[in-house]
Each structure stands twice: as structure tokens, then as C-alpha cells.
Amino acid sequence: MCRFFVAQQARVILSDNAEIIDRAGIETLPIKFDLGGHNTDLFCKSDLIVLSPGVPESIAAVQVAKQKGVPVIGEVEVEIRELAAPMIGITGTNGKSTVTTLTGEIFQAAGKKTYIGGNIGEPMTDAVEAGAWDWVVIELSSFQLESMQSFKPRYSMLLNISPDHLDRYPDMAAYIDAKKRLLMNQDETDFTIVNIDDPEVMKVVASGRGQLIPFSCQQRLDEGMSCQDKEITWRWQGKEIQFPVDELQIKGLHNVANVMAAMVPALIEGVDAQTIWRAVCDFTGLPHRMNLVRMLDGVAWYDDSKGTNVGSVVMSLTGLDKPVTLIAGGKDKGGDFGLLRTAVAEKVTTLILIGEAAVRIEKEIGPVTEIIQAETLA
């Protein structure tokens, strides 16, 4: 981002709470530094404040500057203003990276020059510098959506909503409000792809204006994408196409939902269904998301270390057969661990807990299975 603004001949000041930062890649740039705290006077004298996704608008220097009329936007907002290609914006508590990557790879398989990024991959400034694109597919976290202003995706996707980042937001309503910003500039010419099985998602999209395209793993849909009896069916404007779930390399019902959402934009845009399905079946998933690491003495070891909230753990357990030994814990982000109770009771024979969240997890789940508190993974 610093390089981008320097190229625009802007005078750049990089502000950080830390007194020492990694300057790799920017050490030769003609920029100034505001380290060890945010200087309110500097913020108020700025023409524009651009926030990194990890920086909330609530910090004091930003709030004072906003009150004085200084515009405040996020990194992604800067970049999407520089891109002319049609965009696909994807959010949700879980599955964003998988769906973003797969959606982009489908368009790439169809011969379209497609950028895949946002909350994953390379910085979006790379997309700006690379020139013209046929499609831009962007994963958007709630943090990034907070500072969105002009984003108007041709396709928006709202995959699911469950408690997350409650260490940043005061309550679920604030978290959902951030997610809702994905839809704020869409109109009747745009499409909103939604998980009709998620009641929180359906509450959010009730205020949107885009054309709704639902997907479901629980019910047959007359219009949209649904899965029943191990077969995905796309029904749209009188057409019907089937796809066999058994041909997928990524497993689990949550991944079936991810696949259904990812296929919709290309189908609407007229990409050949077999081209789409070949790209989907070639997809082996992303690292650290329910990846089978190895089989040892008849035990399957899965890496799901990207499952960092309660909802993602529940979905992962749903796709496994009992008996499961689950290693969980780590940072406490404020979620309701009681929501794990049913899934743990049904699938987990041994639960090993580590990190700061361990004690609260055990308390909220209750004695539904064998629980071991561990200091380390050694």
C-alpha cells in the first residue's frame, strides 16, 4: 500500500503502535514513520487515512480525525476504486477462502483472466499494477467490510454467519452489521448468492436489493442450487443440470455447500457446465482446512488448524465418522463454546484442550466425553 501511494506521488506517513516494525520492502521508499503510538495531530492534518484491516476505526486518533472531516477508508476500498473489472465479493464466518479460490479457479479454467485475493493471497495492489482483468474475485472479512464505501460487486456471496471475532465486536449485532455492508451498494442488476439454510444469513439479505440465488444442503430448490441424495442440482430459468457429489475431491457437507456457492457465478455467466465441473473436481482444497495429513496405525490425522471459530469446528466434525479425537483450544475469541456440545457428544471420544480457551471450553461443553487438559502438544 505504501508503494502504491508513493507511485501516486502522495506524501505518505506510516503509523503503528509498535516502536519497531519490519521495514522489509519499504526501506527505500520516501515515507515518514509515526511509531510507538498514533499521533493525533498528524492524523488530523492528513488528507486521507487508510486503515489496515487489523486496525479498528474506534482508535482515538482516527475518531478525532473523522470528527474533523478527514476521510477514513480501508485498504481494499482504495484498491477496488482502481479496478474496472466485474467483481465477486465473498464473505461469511467460514468457507470464505475455499469459495473465493474455487470461484476464481473456475473462471480461470474457462479462459478468463481472473484475480483471486482480498483477505487471502497477494495484496490487491498487485491486481491494480497488473492491468486489465476479466474478473476480480475477493474474499472479504468483517474487518475489511467495516471501512467499505463504494464496493458494488456484480455477485455477492453470504455463506454463513455464526459467532466470531467477539473479542473485537461488542456483540453479534455489530459483527453482523459489518457483514451486511457487502450488500449495501448492490441493485437489481446484481446477484446475491445466499445460504438459504442459515437463518442469520436470510435476515441479513432481507434488506438487500440484488437478485437472490439460494443454495441449500437441506432442501430441494425449484430455483437455485441444492444437494440431495449425493447429487447437486442446478435449476435456473427452466434449465436443470446434475453433478455427482462422489466425484469431488474435497469432502464433507460443508464443502458441498462451498462448491455449490462457487459454481453459481460462472453458470449465470454462461460458462459451459462441464468446464465448471472439471475445475471443481480438480480442486483438492486449501492447506490447514480438513486436510488428511496421514494414516498411522489405522488412525486418520487431519489438519484443520484454520478452524478458528466454533462454527467451523462444528462443520468439520459433521463431516467425520466417530470415533474422533479432537485437539482444540488456543486463543479465546469470545465465542459460545456451548454450541460445540452436541457435535462433540456425537462424534468425539477424546477431547484434548490447550491454550487460554481450554478451561472455558471444558466448562461450557460439560461432561459429554473424555476431556484432557494439556499444557503443550508435545
CA distance 259 to 283: 10
Range with the poorest average pLDDT among 231-240, 319-328, 358-367: 319-328
Whether the pLDDT of residue 264 is over 90: the answer is: yes
Which of 96, 152, 254, 347 is catalytic? The answer is 96
Would residue 337 count as lying in a domain? yes
What mean pLDDT comes out for the span 57-70?
A: 95
Whether the pLDDT of residue 85 is over 90: the answer is: yes
pLDDT at 330: 85
What mean pLDDT comes out for the span 274-290?
A: 89
Sort 49 into a burial class: Cβ within 10 Å, 0-12 / 13-18 / 19+: buried
Whether the pLDDT of residue 312 is over 80: the answer is: no
Do 299 and 169 sit in the same domain of this protein?
no
Whether the pLDDT of residue 54 is over 90: the answer is: no
CA distance 247 to 243: 8
Whether the pLDDT of residue 126 is over 90: the answer is: no
Would residue 219 count as lying in a domain? yes
Whether the pLDDT of residue 122 is over 80: the answer is: no
Do 47 and 167 sit in the same domain of this protein?
no
End-of-domain residue from the set 20, 46, 70: 70
Domain range for 191: 77-282
pLDDT at 309: 77
- Axis crossing angle, helix 96-109 with helix 253-268, rounded to the nearest 10: 40
Do 332 and 273 sit in the same domain of this protein?
no
Beta strands, E only, the chain: 13-16, 32-35, 49-51, 72-74, 87-91, 114-118, 135-139, 155-158, 191-195, 211-216, 224-228, 231-236, 239-244, 291-296, 299-303, 324-329, 348-354, 370-373
Whether the pLDDT of residue 120 is over 90: the answer is: no
Task: Say which CATH number the domain at 59 has.
Answer: 3.40.50.720
Range with the poorest average pLDDT among 27-31, 204-208, 329-333: 329-333
Do 235 and 317 sit in the same domain of this protein?
no
Residue type, 72: V
Do 264 and 298 sit in the same domain of this protein?
no
What mean pLDDT comes out for the span 54-83?
A: 93
Q: Which three cell numbers stand for residue 213?
A: 440465488
Q: Is 96 a catalytic residue?
A: yes
Which of 38, 152, 165, 254 is catalytic? The answer is 165
Q: Is 38 a catalytic residue?
A: no
pLDDT at 332: 84
CA distance 319 to 307: 13
For the CA atoms of 130, 132, 135, 137, the dihedral, rounded to the nearest 10 degrees, stands at 30
The count of structural domains within the chain is 3
Whether the pLDDT of residue 306 is over 90: the answer is: no
pLDDT at 323: 86
Range with the poorest average pLDDT among 91-100, 206-215, 301-310: 301-310
Q: Is 255 a catalytic residue?
A: no
Which of 38, 94, 119, 254 is catalytic? The answer is 119
Whether the pLDDT of residue 286 is over 80: the answer is: no
Would residue 108 count as lying in a domain? yes
pLDDT (tens digit per residue) in 167-200: 788 888 999 999 999 999 999 999 999 999 999 9
Between 306 and 52, the higher pLDDT residue: 52
Q: Other C-beta atoms within 10 Å of 212: how many? A: 15
End-of-domain residue from the set 10, 35, 70: 70
Q: Which three cell numbers stand for residue 308?
A: 478458528
Q: How far is CA 66 from CA 41, 46, 59, 61, 235, in A?
A: 12, 11, 11, 9, 48
Do 268 and 308 sit in the same domain of this protein?
no
Whether the pLDDT of residue 10 is over 90: the answer is: yes
Do 173 and 225 sit in the same domain of this protein?
yes
Whether the pLDDT of residue 222 is over 90: the answer is: yes
Would residue 15 count as lying in a domain? yes
Would residue 90 count as lying in a domain? yes
pLDDT at 238: 95
Whose cell is 492528513? That residue is 46
End-of-domain residue from the set 35, 70, 105: 70
Whether the pLDDT of residue 166 is over 80: the answer is: no
**Residue (of 282, 258, 286) closest to 121 by Cα position:** 286
Whose cell is 496421514? That residue is 294
CA distance 320 to 245: 16
CA distance 267 to 264: 5
**What percentage of the chain has pLDDT greater than the value 90?**
68
**CA angle (42, 46, 48) in 5-degree steps:** 135
Q: How far is CA 1 from CA 8, 76, 80, 143, in A?
A: 11, 10, 13, 17
Return mean pLDDT, the chain.
91
Do 103 and 137 sit in the same domain of this protein?
yes
pLDDT band at 165 (very low <50, low <70, confident <90, very high): confident
